[in-house]
Structure 1
Amino acid sequence: MGRVTGGEVTSTYGTVVWDGIGTLRIRYGGTLIRTRLGERIVPIEALRAVEVTDAGLRLLLRDGADPLQSVTQPIELYDFPGVDHDAAEGIARDIGQALVRRDVPETAATAWLVAPPPAPDRIEGRDATLAVASGQLTFKYHRSAGRKKKALGDPWSVPLGDIVDVEWAPAVGLGARGFLRITTTATPDVRPKPKHDPAAMLTRRATEADALFFAARLLTRIRP
């Protein structure tokens, strides 16, 4: 059972503090990525609803509100299991009333409302190194990368203005490989697996958080 103090609930995945006015402060913990996230500020305008279930508290964000959530769906960054049920119900009810008072729409946000975590301009993966500089994203492939991977050139650079989407996926399961992948205006409808895709980088488990943060920051560069 989680611990609660005032407008605060604590879960194995972190602590959620509601100020009763219009701001949620989340102090993450429990997993490597969440611990690396540290503290994040979520304004009520970023929310579309709050749910309380037998499992715990879930914050439902509007599409396009958080770049971190926009690049990764497999990791639920706004699920907080094991919280005090009564306290969670009270916070959910209060937030629901605030959403109505402020007339916050459930539609997609027209601008980012939650800041991405700090990220480097360069990230090294298993088969490539990605770097952002001078308005371009450059893939520099490693020796281990195959010919299909290097089909567009080595290095291969793409203007940020040509990137339309960014995706990150963790390595889940034995032998699985996480990746960071971009979609450009020239990306075919049917694309190869990340291992062979020139527009993808296989990530290292030790630096998955860095790759995720890089992806979120890249998304805010192409969609300010």
Structure 2
Amino acid sequence: MRFEGRTAVVTGGAQGIGAATARMLGEQGATVVVLDLDESRSRKVAGEIPGAVGHGCDVTDKEQVDAVFERIGRIDVLVNNAGITRDNLLFKMPFDEWNAVLTTNLTSMFLCCQAAQKVMVPARYGRIVNLSSRSALGNRGQANYSAAKAGVQGLTATLAIELGPYNITVNAVAPGYIATPMTAATAERVGSTPQEHQAQVAERTPLRRVGQPEEVAAVIAFLASDEASYVSGQTLYVNGGAR
């Protein structure tokens, strides 16, 4: 029960890594707030976690973010997980797809961190964990996503410097291939089934399998806990040993 008495906000918490994280934090004692673009889905996940609540929020909209964070009140832990993919090669990528991915995967984190620090700084306590990706190192067909996730790492390092004096740690987790609805959609986009796609990735992963959302959630929970109280400004890759 290492999060007993703490309030944790998880964005993009209605599925995949976000939902797994919300459940794990709840199991370990946190009062969880699930945020998602689809309010009904956020409430459904929250309904599986004792004491949790779900809210609809477009985390790319500053007014909505400010309003929901004010409504939440106390925030001890913030997990910025909301994200989308719009994969395409550079010469075929429409500007709106570039912009949508940068806004959802990076700008939303800025907005949520800015809103959360208004509460965390006076409290002299906070744990922020941002979701990056192995794609931050570069990935064909993901100029938008790779740029956003690399930006997450820069944002994380900078906020750790700025917020550290207030006992607020800021870290990032960079998953490799995780079996989620997002990677299933990627498989379908390239003309494969999720199972076939996962098998192909597993062959070139040292652990010879793909990751599960709960394995990423466990790392997020560690970074959000007081056990990681002297860890800040770091990006931890969770990718089965892939290089």
Name the TM tier (shorter chain).
Answer: under 0.3
TM-score by length of 2: 0.25
Instruction: Looking at secondary structure, tell me which structure has more strand per residue.
Output: 1
TM-score by length of 1: 0.26
